[in-house]
Amino acid sequence: MNIPCGKVLLVDDEQSILLASGTLLRSAGVRDVLTIDDSRKVLPLLETEQVDVVILDLFMPHISGKELLGEISREYPQIPILVMTAADELETAVECMKAGAFDYLVKPVERSRFVSSVTKAIDMCRLKKQMNNLREHLLNKKLEQPEVFSSIITTSEKMTTIFQYVEVVAHSNEPVLITGETGVGKELVARAVHEASGLRGNFVSVNVAALDDTLFSDTLFGHRKGAFTGANTPREGMIAQASGGTLLLDEIGDLRELSQVKLLRLLQEREYFAMGSDVPKKNNARILTATNRSLRDMVASGAFRKDLYYRLCTHHVEIPPLRERKEDIPVLLDHFLAKAARTLNKKKPVLPPQALQLLSHYSFPGNIRELEAMVCDAVTRHRSGVLSLDSFRHCMKEGQTLDAPHYEDMTAGMQMLSELFPALPSLKQAEILLIREALKRSSGNQGIAASLLGISRTALNKRLKREPGLLS
């Protein structure tokens, strides 16, 4: 069972019960357990300690469990309270639940029932904290650790919202699934999650796309000497290297079926076996995953395990493509120009004003990585003066299309056309409308307008000569 991190307070006047219950929780993975045998000390302790769950006996001297239940529920409504008592009475149980108890346990409690109830209570407390933190972050629109995100160049409100979410989930012990198209910066966000978490261990990244099942096990779990032919020395896996830190499994959508089963067991049990060993090892690394594929669609088609998917997406970060945050293009351009100039030992070139107009109409299928490659190529070719846009245009042609419409966009456009023009315009009329719109979007720049229309500059000039009124 995957036991979440949390601080549990046990309150009982019998030392034997405190010892047995505390030992049971610690053996199940709940490392932070406090015990109190005097009910008068509970409320003062809660004023100074951040407690996630309280387990109360009902019948105690000084202050009864019922009184404490009411007080804690009023003063600390975010803390789940488990009542654990020998009183197997329905009426008492109902009263406790009405007073705010999270669960009612009758002594002696079965081990699995006790651990399960505490686990659910910790989960509930953690979820409430995350929701409160997220609400505060979204309302304040401020980042507590802006330096964590300094490597991600952006002015986008969408990205700021993602950063706020990352700060909230970073301290959780649950997996984070990071999705987005190729080149949007998934690993940068994963590193930000690690930095924001405050974990002192290493950040370790593994691309699992090319790993078969055996290599997956060896890479993650390691092996003992003699585990297989050629295993002359023992080897630690990536999980051990990421102990106390973060392990990113990149391209998780390409993970093979048997490896998916192994990963699911790791997440559920938080332990693993090195190859050739029958002694389990504890996993002490935070697991992050990333993919440019839709795991939900893969689950629907049977290509990805549903139970693993729901384990991985406890927290989900979807990074928008560059075409949906074009306000980032100017700052990214400036950043990549400076970076390329430093790398190539050149003076930072001057960017022509038409550059932003040109790039703002491009769909960037390769996202930020593609933009960086464009800038690097342009600066490499640059000699002096204003930066030429020819290399940008060449790269954009190789990228196939400028703002190529998706089928859904084309369908919507045709529907709008039908609404605007009940009578279908002629080809000549449609051509004039398109040229006029392209010139408008390009602020009169004929080269950019031609690119938007998918024709050459010469072809556009011929059409403009035929219809000189378009330039007025």
The CATH number of the domain where 65 resides is what? 3.40.50.2300
- My answer on whether 239 and 260 are in the same domain is yes
- My answer on whether 72 and 116 are in the same domain is yes
Please report the pLDDT score of residue 401 as a whole number: 47
Question: What is the tens place of the pLDDT at every residue in 186-241?
Answer: 999 999 999 999 999 999 999 999 899 999 999 999 999 888 888 889 899 999 99
Question: What is the tens place of the pLDDT at every residue in 333-350?
Answer: 999 999 999 999 999 998
One-letter amino acid at 165 equals Y
Decide which of 95, 127, 159 is a domain's last residue.
127
For residues 449 and 358, give the distance between their C-alpha atoms in angstroms, rounded to a whole number.
9
Instruction: Give the residue-averaged pLDDT of 83-92.
Output: 83
- My answer on whether 292 and 354 are in the same domain is no
CATH number of the domain enclosing 211: 3.40.50.300
- My answer on whether 373 and 297 are in the same domain is no
377, 383, 384, 390: CA torsion to nearest 10: -50
Q: 425: which DSSP letter?
A: P
Sheet holding 246-250, edge to edge: 203-207, 246-250, 286-291, 176-179, 315-318
Give the chain's mean pLDDT: 86
- Least confident window among 28-37, 151-160, 333-342: 28-37
For residue 179, what are the domain limits?
A: 141-320
Please report the pLDDT score of residue 332 as a whole number: 95
3-state secondary structure 260-289: HHHHHHHHHHCEECCECCCCCEECCCEEEE
- My answer on whether 453 and 412 are in the same domain is yes
Please report the pLDDT score of residue 140 as a whole number: 65
Instruction: Give the residue-averaged pLDDT of 166-186.
Output: 92
Residue 171 has pLDDT above 90, yes or no: no
Q: Is residue 135 in some structural domain?
A: no
Decide which of 302, 320, 338 is a domain's last residue.
320
Sole residue written with tokens 């649950």 = 174
Specify whether the backbone of 345 is left (phi greater than 0), alpha (psi in -120 to 50) or beta.
left
CATH number of the domain enclosing 358: 1.10.8.60
Strand partners, 85: 106
Q: Is residue 193 in some structural domain?
A: yes
- My answer on whether 123 and 145 are in the same domain is no
How confident is residue 1, by pLDDT bands cut at 50, 70 and 90?
A: very low
For residues 143 and 159, give the distance between their C-alpha atoms in angstroms, rounded to a whole number.
12
Q: Does residue 180 or residue 363 have the better pLDDT?
A: 180
Please report the pLDDT score of residue 427 as a whole number: 80
For the chain, how big is the Rg over CA atoms in Å?
A: 30
Question: What is the tens place of the pLDDT at every residue in 274-308?
Answer: 999 988 999 999 999 999 999 999 999 999 999 99
Decide which of 260, 294, 320 is a domain's last residue.
320
Instruction: Give the residue-averaged pLDDT of 101-124.
Output: 86
Share of the chain above pLDDT 90, in %: 44
Residue 450 has pLDDT above 80, yes or no: no
Instruction: Specify the number of domains making up the chain.
Output: 4
Q: Is residue 269 in some structural domain?
A: yes
Cβ neighbours of residue 248 closer than 8 Å, sequence gap 6 or more = 187, 190, 203, 204, 205, 206, 288, 289, 290
> Per the omega criterion (within 30 degrees of 0), is the bond before 234 cis?
no
Please report the pLDDT score of residue 402 as a whole number: 44
Most confident stretch, 138-147, 317-326, 359-368, 380-389: 317-326
